[in-house]
Amino acid sequence: MSKGITTGGGLTIGLDLGDRFTEGRVLDGSGEVGEAFRVRTTEPALSARLSSFPPSRLVLEVGTHSPWVSRTVTRLGHEAIVANPRRVRLIAENDSKSDGIDAELLARLGRVDPSLLKPIVHRGEQAQRDRILIQSRAGFVRARTQLVNQVRGFSKALGVRLPSSSTEAFPKRVRAATPLDLFPGLETLLATIDQLTTTIRQMDREVEELCRKRYPETQLLRQVPGVGAITALYYVLTIEDPSRFAKSRSVGAYVGLRPKQRDSGEQSPQLRITKAGDRLLRCLLVSCAHYILGPFGPDTDLRRAGLRMAERGGQAAKKRAIVAVATRLAVLLHRLWVTGEGYQPLRSEASKAA
């Protein structure tokens, strides 16, 4: 990727993608707007319009359409720069905002230095399709949890406290302990929860099938206790190419588990994590960290390190321990993937013994 200002005959094109139409602004080598165009946001229309330009640098912002548009741009022989939305606040905070102005600002930012935009590399189409399975499953899990909370809330309002149980066993426990005429619609809610559980189980089987047939590398990641098929597969599909990271330690920052940094002078305050990157992957890693530090977690280096941090006192220390274990887990999974080594739960202990 060229980092200098495009000069000479090089063109820089900014695209503001909308659901129906896309605005484009073309900057020539001197930085002047040479052409403005508007085209429908469809693959045939964009391909026909962009193929009329010589190989150029195209800048667009992350959005719903950016994955397939970036692939189309690359296929046509152009350079695609997908701008990180955290780096283009100039557009959102602009007093004079329109689709055309946004497209021009993207082109100018990309023309000066693409690295300022922290470009995002969209994953391949197959990986994107397979990720949808896990994302859809997560949506069903959230819906089931909301329905369970609704049933509990309605019952409490009527003076009835429902028995504690797992989410999957919740309908059965409620039917056994509570009359179904407690309030109208109770049986409908319980039946819906049962149906969602059946759907989630089916999707779990599909995830296992994907791991076995298309992504055998997930078996390397599942060596770590607490890392199941869903976490391993989503990790592989999100990272996609482990060679993107020169060091495994960079993965923690990629998934948003690195603390923010605002050092000034001699002050270096302790801040929250950045929460950049994929939210679902971060949640899955944190969930694994809860298991590792929980009562059923086996004795491993990860668990020992987390427990030492949690012993430093208070609820805040426990939260920091969870985040620290999740970060180390992200690094460990990348290392196992790259090297293909077997997982050693007590590697540090073995090193000391050696």
Instruction: Note the pLDDT tens digit of each residue in 127-141.
Output: 999 999 999 999 999
In angstroms, the Cα distances linking 90 to 57, 60, 107 are: 20, 14, 13
Q: How many other CB atoms are there within 10 angstroms of residue 300's CB atom?
A: 22
Do residues 210 and 233 make contact, with C-beta atoms less than 8 angstroms apart?
Answer: yes
Do residues 346 and 301 make contact, with C-beta atoms less than 8 angstroms apart?
Answer: yes
Do residues 329 and 224 make contact, with C-beta atoms less than 8 angstroms apart?
Answer: yes
Alpha helices in 158-217 (DSSP H): 170-177, 186-213
Residue with tokens 């969870």: 322
Per-residue confidence (pLDDT) for residue 312, from 0 to 100: 82
What is the per-residue DSSP string for 277-345?
S-HHHHHHHHHHHHHHHSTT--S-HHHHHHHHHHTTSHHHHHHHHHHHHHHHHHHHHHHHHHH-PPP-T
Per-residue confidence (pLDDT) for residue 269, from 0 to 100: 73
**Crossing angle (nearest 10°) for helices 125-157 and 66-75:** 180
pLDDT tens, residue by residue, 173-196: 999 999 989 999 999 999 999 999
Per-residue confidence (pLDDT) for residue 258, from 0 to 100: 87
In sequence order, the β-bridge partners of residue 15 are 24, 60
Per-residue confidence (pLDDT) for residue 142, from 0 to 100: 97
Best CA proximity match to 270, nearest among 254, 281, 259: 259
Q: Quote the DSSP letter at residue 349.
A: H
* Beta strands, E only, the chain: 12-17, 21-27, 33-40, 57-61, 79-83
Per-residue confidence (pLDDT) for residue 164, from 0 to 100: 92
Per-residue confidence (pLDDT) for residue 8, from 0 to 100: 42
Q: Please give the backbone phi and psi of residue 335, each rounded to the nearest 5 degrees, phi first.
A: -65, -45
**pLDDT tens for the chain, residues 1 to 354:** 444 555 445 899 999 999 999 999 999 988 899 999 999 999 999 999 999 999 999 999 888 999 999 999 999 999 999 988 776 665 656 666 788 888 998 998 888 888 878 788 888 889 999 999 999 999 999 999 999 999 999 999 999 999 999 999 999 999 999 998 999 999 999 999 999 999 999 999 999 999 999 999 999 999 999 999 999 999 999 999 999 899 999 999 999 998 887 766 666 676 788 888 899 999 999 999 999 999 999 999 999 999 999 988 778 889 999 999 999 999 999 999 999 999 999 987 666 665
In sequence order, the β-bridge partners of residue 24 are 15, 37
Do residues 27 and 108 make contact, with C-beta atoms less than 8 angstroms apart?
Answer: yes
